[in-house]
Every structure is written in C-alpha cells, then in structure tokens.
Structure 1
Amino acid sequence: MNNSGREYIADKDSALLQYLYEILAGQSRTSIKAYLTHARITVNGQSTTAFDHPVRKGDRISILEKGMIMKKRGGEKETRVKIVFEDAWLIVADKRSGVLSMSTGAEGEVTAYSLLSDYVKRMYGRNSRIFIVHRIDRETSGLIIFAKDERTKMKLQENWNESVLERKYCAILEGRPHEAAGTIHSWLKENPKSLKVSSSPVDNGGKEATTHYRTVSSGEHFSLADFELETGRKHQIRVHASLIGCPVTGDRRYGAKENPMGRIALHARSIKFRHPVTGKIMSFDTGLPNAFKAVMKEDSCNK
C-alpha cells in the first residue's frame, strides 16, 4: 500500500464507498464519505464523487491529501503533489508544473515542501518533519525525493553520484535535432542579475554539465525527446536543448517561440537510486504525461 496521496490496489470487486469502509475501518463513516464529497478519491487516476462507483479487482484507489488538490478554471481539480512512494525514511512525490520545490522566501507560497510538511504533521504528529533532498525547477513537473529525517537526507546528498543510478526527463522540443541522439557537454554559469544560465564549451568558472539525449518521435513542428542527466545543474536540460537548436517548447527564456502546452514542456519522468537505509534499488517512472501525448498526436496529424 502507498500510504500517501494514500494508494491501494483493490483485491476484489465492490462499490467504491463499501470498499473505502473496509480499507479505512478505523475512520468514521462520515469522514470517509467526505473524501468522496470533496473529490479526494481517484480510481485509476480519475476523480469520482459517486458512492456507487464500481471498483474492479486490480483497480488503483488513491486518497488525495487536503491541500494537495487545487481547482482549475471550470471547477476541474488538479493534484499539486502526488505521493508515489513512502516508507519510514523517504517520500518520492510527483510535482506538477508551476509548483516550487521549496520556498524562495515568499511568505505563504504553496510549495511541494510545504504541502508534504503539512501532510506528515497531519499523519504522524506535529513534530514530524521532512527534508528536501534535491530540487527541480518550478516550471518542471515530475519526480522529487524528500527525506523524513536529516540523517537520511545527508546520506543521500553526500553520496548522490553513487546512490542515484539513473535520472530521466522527457521534453517536447521545437523542431527536430540534427542528430537523433547524442551527448551535450559544457560549463553552465548563472547570471546573478538576470538568473539566466549561460553555457560555455570551455571551463569559464561555471559548473561542468553533461546531458545525453535521444529523439523518440517527431511531428511537423515538434519532437519528443528523452534526456538522461550525468550532472544535475540548474536549467541544465533547458540550456542544452537550446544549444542543439531545439529549445524546450514554452521556454521563452532559452529561445522557444511556441508554447502548445501553456507551460515549459519538461517532465522529470523517472529516477532510479539505491535506498540510503535499506540498500534496495528503488525505481520509479511516471510514464509520459497525457498532455505531452496530446501535443505530439496533434502535431503528427499535421504532418
């Protein structure tokens, strides 16, 4: 069971409310009904408020934590942060685009850190804490790791290069890379005034960065590409995509002219690492987001 945005796999056919009564036997029936009334239940990723929604054996039932949900225009609801894994030491979460990993000082701003911090306090007591292990840009969606204690955080951070075996992103690029696959290597340096990251082919006092990419498919205007990081520098993929003449769509800072998704089309899709406490190899993959699929499908139809 994923005790999170808590997730359960149904072991039999049932009506949804009856199934919730069984798996949440320690809670009052009124509070369980409130999960449905407030649209905090999803079945296989789809929100429902119907008490009699059919549940089939093998269905994935998720209970979204309060505050991790936000309303979009038209009343539709969207998850800000979804917990995909949790144990005694770690939380692996899937962050949506537009949510900061951690506050930059703006009072009251909702971040992945603040949402998960509230979550652990509600679940385990007011003294419970979380610690951010690494960050992804506000504009980037996808997987991010938090620790439940400082020792676990430090162990992961201090052994990051040895512990993290694989990090993959997917992106929609403008145009088509001249080479279908390759490696981009440069030194990246942030301008403290503009906050824009510049790239140099030689050491300019910046941070060395290496990115591997592979074109998955191409349409008339856009290409879907996978990126694998050897290093994790700020804006690394965004800058390196621009270097090969194919900026990430929506990324006007680094040269994009098109914005088919209304956001920067970059997603931290998968991560594979050695658990800092158990030593077990942990692997998580969100799959390709539906919005990415929709853009590429439409672009392919225009060819």
Structure 2
Amino acid sequence: MKVHVLYEDNHLLMVQKPVNIPVQADKSGDSDMLTVLKEDLKVRYQKPGNVYLGLIHRLDRPVGGAMVFAKTSKAASRLSDMFRRRVVERSYLSVVHGVPKQKKGQLVHYLHKDKRENKVFVDPKHPKAKKAVLDYEVLESRNNFSLLAVKLHTGRPHQIRVQLSSIGHPIFGDQKYGQHVNKPGQQIALWADVLSFDHPIKKEPIEVYSLPPMDHPWNIWSHLRVRQTMPFNTLKTSEISS
C-alpha cells in the first residue's frame, strides 16, 4: 500500500486514502489505514510503544481521497467537535449514470441504515431515520455519464451513494446501490477531493486537494478544465509504503 501525505504537522496527519482499503481493522483482516499510518509514524519518528492516532471521520472502503487524522488527543477532541458542528467542508467528485435534469441542486432525504444488510435506505417514516443533506453540481456530461461535484452538509453512512441513486443517477461502479446498471468488479467512481477547515490548534486555514487516478471513467474528462484548474496540494510532503 502506498499512501500519499497531503499535510502533516505536530497535530494533524492528512493523507490520500487508496481505494478498497478499510479505514480501520475489520473482520476481513486486510491492511487498514489506521494501522499502517500508526506503524509509519512509529518508524519515521522512532517512537517507543504505542503511537496515538485519532480516527476522526471515515470513508467507505471502496472510496479513495482526502482524510484527516489527529496526532494528539487535543487535536482529536477539537476536530471531532468541528465535524459535529459541521464546520469542516468536505467535497467529492463523482461520476454518475445519466444526466441530472437540474445542473445544480440540493438533495434532502431521511436515511435509515439496516445493520444486518449493511445497507442504507431512504425511509422518512422510520423512527431512526436521520436527515441527510448534500449539494451537487454537474460539471460536465459525456457519453451518458455526468461528472458531479458534491458537497456534504451531513455525514450519514453511504450518504452520497444512496442519495444520488435515489434520484435515478447511481454512481458508476457502485455495486451496492447501482447493481442494476453496473457490472461486477467495476470500481466505484466516488472520490473525496477537498478537505477544508481551520486548524484546531493553530487556527490557520487548512485546505488539501486530492484527485482521482485517470482510470475509466475518470479519464473521460482528462482533457477538461476541471482537472486542470484543481491544483495538486503543494503541501504534499512524503509517500508512505507498506
């Protein structure tokens, strides 16, 4: 596994999560982000004993892109509070089937997660349903696919995948919420491209960018302005291999 570091200081570690890697250890026994990053910090800084690294938020296993971890408990507490207060801006790129009727829009649904199926359903009448809100913008459409920019206002499980599928535009490669239009084995085209917030300790603005690999279907837009104007983060410092 190779993990690109987008930003690092004494308090934060921001990385580009590879696709198909769990954020933390699960029953699969596969390598996970939290364990790999802890081991890397232990080796790079020659730390004895256990290394602290706070898991603040998650990305679904098949999804890649920008993530932030806390290297101190103080930063972890403040960052967690910032996520709860929704002052952390998170945006995503996604390739969906079809062309949405509205170029821009806000989606509001009430979602319920069935833990036995590990699947989320739109169900406003369910007593445990939670409100999910996102904004989207169609950046370009081609070959009956559309490239969307998505901004989250809430952080519900599988939120983007469920909400886009519910309006008739499932994400390319999504085997869980778009199996009727996707082929087995296709990689989901959902990528966390921007994380932006005020540093929890220094109070300075932090913004990192992460761009998806130019594999299909992302390469449909390799020539477009959207890729040229989204800068690679200049704060990228190193690459972790494990």
Provide TM-score, normalisation by structure 2: 0.83
Quick one: percent identity of the two aligned structures?
Answer: 28
Question: How do residues 141-160 of structure 1 correspond to structure 2 at under 5 angstroms?
Answer: 141-160=64-83
Instruction: Give the whole-Å Cα distance in 1 for the aligned partners of 2:183 and 2:141.
Output: 16
**1:223-246: CA deviation from partner (whole Å, max 9, x where unpaired):** 100100000111000001101110
Say whether 1:243 aligns with 2:166: yes
Q: How many residues align?
A: 219
2:117 maps to a residue whose letter is S
Instruction: Give the whole-Å Cα distance in 2 for the aligned partners of 1:287 and 1:260.
Output: 24
Q: Is the 8 A contact 1:185 1:210 kept in 2?
A: yes
Instruction: Give the whole-Å Cα distance in 2 for the aligned partners of 1:168 and 1:191.
Output: 26
Q: Is the 8 A contact 1:163 1:275 kept in 2?
A: no
Say whether 1:101 aligns with 2:23: yes
**1:264-286: CA deviation from partner (whole Å, max 9, x where unpaired):** 11000001011111111101112
Instruction: Please list every run of 5 or more consecutive structure 1 residues that lacks an aligned counterpart in the other structure.
Output: 1-68, 70-78, 299-303
Question: How do residues 116-265 of structure 1 correspond to structure 2 at under 5 angstroms?
Answer: 116-124=37-45, 125-127=47-49, 128-162=51-85, 164-201=87-124, 204-256=127-179, 257-259=181-183, 262-265=186-189
Secondary structure of residue in 1 paired with 2:134: strand
Instruction: Give the whole-Å Cα distance in 2 for the aligned partners of 1:260 and 1:215.
Output: 26
- Structure number with larger C-alpha Rg: 1
Instruction: Give the whole-Å Cα distance in 2 for the aligned partners of 1:152 and 1:182.
Output: 34
Residue number in structure 2 paired with 1:41: none
2:199 maps to a residue whose letter is H
Residue number in structure 2 paired with 1:27: none
**1:109-134: CA deviation from partner (whole Å, max 9, x where unpaired):** 20111110110110121333211111
Provide TM-score, normalisation by structure 1: 0.67
Change (3 A) 1:280 1:259: farther
Post-superposition offset of 1:187 = 1.2
Higher relative contact order (CA 8 A, sep 6+): 2
Residue number in structure 2 paired with 1:59: none
Secondary structure of residue in 1 paired with 2:19: coil
Secondary structure of residue in 2 paired with 1:216: strand
Residue number in structure 2 paired with 1:283: 207
Residue number in structure 2 paired with 1:274: 198
Change (3 A) 1:261 1:213: farther
Q: Is the 8 A contact 1:185 1:201 kept in 2?
A: no
Cα RMSD over matched residues?
A: 2.1
Change (3 A) 1:162 1:191: closer
2:48 maps to a residue whose letter is R
